[in-house]
Amino acid sequence: MIRRIPARTQTERSDATTARLLTAARRLFGADGYHATSIEAVASAAGVTKGAAYHHFRGKADLFRAVFTREQEAIADTLERVAAQSPDAWAALTQGTRTFLEHCLDPGFRRVVLLDGPAVLGWDGVREIECAHTLRVLSAGVRAAADAGLLVAGDLDARAQLVFGALCEGGMLLARADDPARALVGVADEARLLLGALRA
Amino acid sequence: MIRRIPARTQTERSDATTARLLTAARRLFGADGYHATSIEAVASAAGVTKGAAYHHFRGKADLFRAVFTREQEAIADTLERVAAQSPDAWAALTQGTRTFLEHCLDPGFRRVVLLDGPAVLGWDGVREIECAHTLRVLSAGVRAAADAGLLVAGDLDARAQLVFGALCEGGMLLARADDPARALVGVADEARLLLGALRA
DNA sequence: TTGACGGGCATACCCAGGGTATGTAAGTTC
DNA sequence: GAACTTACATACCCTGGGTATGCCCGTCAA
């Protein structure tokens, strides 16, 4: 009834199934939200059964955590590349905020990372993962700017966190707009204004 | 088995039951979160059965919405009082942020409003309610400051929203601290710094 | 006062869905 | 190639959201 995934070695089979589950989960969680997505639906979309899902993940929340982590890895990776291409620490910050806001145009990203993430994983759970990815890049950017003497003194970690909160809210905000692409410019302007507060 | 609520008139009975349900729901949602709280547990804590809960509320999400709205009313009320007592528009903003952060020290408030709210009601649902309460007060404060010529030009609504996002994140942040009362000062300082960005 | 009506609530039930126990085929190791 | 492990499928349990129904008691008209 279920088409078996062809693979010679076991690790190949395992990896392939895990990948398919993650892909399906990201699609369904992103489209319908955590609550409205059942494990069985994910498994079915991945071409396997619940048993397979529970073999690779401890439960629904664990599967979600994996999807969430992947999203974090992706955005952090993008941001790091943007920062590397920026001429200076300040440009890295401003361009990074714009890149993050653009990323928020993806409804799946918003749903998984901004809406369901905190409720499912708890704030500490989300923060732990974010600290290793998005927040790490942002903090590094803030610290680099501070080292360059561009920022006023203060609690840099708290500062990065507050800015991050503002950005997430901005991401949700522009998604609601009739013309998100145009709203992005306005929100990015306001965000840049806020960042300007931190300049020495 | 279930103690009946003594009340002569029907509206009295109805109001009393609704109030008890809301109180119990706020306690349980706040302590255990939306998902881990069952309707039956809420009803039981209120001294009634599921039937009563479903008589007064359309479902679990509707009950949660009522709790969420009450929280919004409470905080907006407090903020409005603080603003009224402030000598000028700028003091109202800075003192308001501090009051909001203090409010975030309540775990139930954080859980209901900041963590579960968006996931259960959706961002639009949350925003709709917030626009009528907390965000209304904040926007009014920002607009008052703008009218007084204290702020640089820009999209004031987007600005208020971004600041709000930063504050919510700050509220979660200081709750994690070993000494929240002391962390509050630091976060409030950073928030004030961000607000400073908006001064003309 | 009384009888019909409706609101307030309890009880009993349905069923979707998260989680578990167990069976089985295929890969792995000695 | 036999013992063992891994990667699943199948069958099942049970919590919990939601609904259908019936009873009790205010309410209101005659």
CA distance B52 to chain A (A): 25
Q: Where in chain B is the domain with CATH 1.10.357.10?
A: 60-196
pLDDT bin (cut points 50, 70, 90) of residue B198 is confident
CATH value of A65-196 in 3.40.50.10130, 3.40.50.1100, 1.10.357.10, 3.40.50.720: 1.10.357.10
Q: What is the mean pLDDT of residues A57-79?
A: 98
Give me the pLDDT at residue A3, please: 40
* Residue pair B17/B56 in contact by the 8 Å Cβ criterion: yes
Residue A1: DSSP 8-state: -
- What does A120-162 look like in DSSP terms, one character per residue? HHHHHHHHHHHHTTHHHHHHHHHHHHHHTT-B-SS-HHHHHHH
Give me chain B's average pLDDT, please: 93
Give me the pLDDT at residue B6, please: 52
Asked if CATH classification 3.30.1330.10 holds for the domain at A1-57, the reply, yes or no, is no
Q: Do B155 and A123 touch (CB under 8 A)?
A: no
* Residue pair A22/A43 in contact by the 8 Å Cβ criterion: no
pLDDT bin (cut points 50, 70, 90) of residue B2 is very low
Q: What is the mean pLDDT of residues B67-90?
A: 97
Give me the pLDDT at residue B4, please: 44
Q: Where in chain A is the domain with CATH 1.10.10.60?
A: 1-57
Question: A6 pLDDT exceeds 80?
Answer: no
Q: Which nucleotides of C are covered by protein (CB under 7 A)?
A: 7-12, 16-23, 27-28
Angstrom distance, B29 CA to D21 C1': 30
Q: Do A191 and B33 touch (CB under 8 A)?
A: no
SS3 content of chain A, % helix, strand, coil (to 5): 80, 0, 20
CATH value of B60-196 in 2.30.40.10, 1.10.357.10, 3.40.640.10, 1.10.443.10: 1.10.357.10
Give me the pLDDT at residue A7, please: 58
Give me the pLDDT at residue A196, please: 86
Question: B166 pLDDT exceeds 50?
Answer: yes
Q: Do B164 and A168 touch (CB under 8 A)?
A: no
Locate A17 and state its tokens. Answer: 């199934």
Question: B5 pLDDT exceeds 70?
Answer: no
Question: B119 pLDDT exceeds 90?
Answer: yes
Question: B139 pLDDT exceeds 70?
Answer: yes
Count A/B contacts: CB-CB distance under 8 Å.
128
Question: A20 pLDDT exceeds 60?
Answer: yes
Tell me which chain B residues have a C-beta less than 8 angstroms from the C-beta of A33.
119
Give me the pLDDT at residue A4, please: 45
Which range, of A28-42, A72-86, B118-132, B168-182, averages the lowest pLDDT?
A: B168-182
Tell me which chain A residues have a C-beta less than 8 angstroms from the C-beta of B123.
110, 114-115, 172, 176
Give me chain A's average pLDDT, please: 93
**Residue with CA nearest C1' of nucleotide C17:** A38
Nearest residue of B to residue A199, measured between CA atoms: B197
Locate B149 and state its tokens. Answer: 């010529």
